[in-house]
Structure 1
């Protein structure tokens, strides 16, 4: 049976350390939605993973490195990260991101 409803009140907030928290929203084997909150100055270190990822900026300002490019982004902006590309972010102003992954991130469950 597929789960279709993921109430925010039931989602666990995970402290990922260094001013970063995340909350997993809806997901199945092929897709996952994650809300990520950053405090000003938080750095998401450069990393890569085999998942495709789209990041949507809900609030705040961030400097993202994706591959060889660096982007300063704010509310309403989005970024695409292909599988295995090195990427990371620095939070310039506290905010919230929505990350979508395909397939889902088993390590977040």
Structure 2
């Protein structure tokens, strides 16, 4: 892919030369994993990084999946319960979750409320993963 080309993630906003500020409320909202996740929100891609501000409704989440790029998830609101590899994790506001590349994982919002999270992935692959 050439620098400043099309977005890797269908529907994502691709940063253009000289474009430095993005109002996430106005960026196209996409599904975080159309065939395996209820996460939805804004996604912006640069040359080497992909960022998203996503929400998972209470009691919903992502089925087991993986992706060839590593992922960071910073929890802003709610409680995120996940399984990364074979390890259960729980993360609340202010927690940062790391998912190594190629690791099968699943997770979601508790019944108590939505989870709002900021996520970052390297741009070696799209935001979307592959359902396990």
Into which bin does the TM-score normalised by the smaller protein fall?
0.7 to 0.9
Give the number of equivalent residue pairs. 107
Gaps of 5+ in 1: none
Change over 3 Å in CA distance of 1:107–1:61 after alignment to 2: closer
| Gap runs ≥5 in structure 2 | 1-16
TM-score, normalising length: structure 1? 0.84
98-107 or 50-59: bigger deviation: 98-107
TM-score with structure 2 setting the length: 0.71
* Greater percentage in helix: 1
In the alignment, the residues of structure 1 paired with residue 94 and residue 69 of structure 2 have an alpha-carbon distance, to the nearest angstrom, of 22
Q: How far off is 1:37 after superposition?
A: 0.3
User: RMSD across aligned C-alpha pairs, in angstroms?
Assistant: 2.1
Q: 1:3 aligns with which of 7, 19, 41?
A: 19
Secondary structure in structure 1 of the residue aligned to 2:21: coil
Displacement over 4 Å in runs of 4+: 15-19
Specify the alignment match of 2:118 in structure 1. Answer: 98
In the other structure, the counterpart of 1:54 is: 72
1:29 match: 47
Q: Deviations over 1:50-90 (max 9, x none)?
A: 11100000000111111111111110011111111001102
2-structure distance, mates of 1:46, 1:14: 19
Q: Verify: 1:65 aligned to 2:83, yes or no.
A: yes
Displacement after TM superposition at 1:104 (Å) = 5.9
User: Which structure: larger Rg?
Assistant: 2
More strand by share: 1
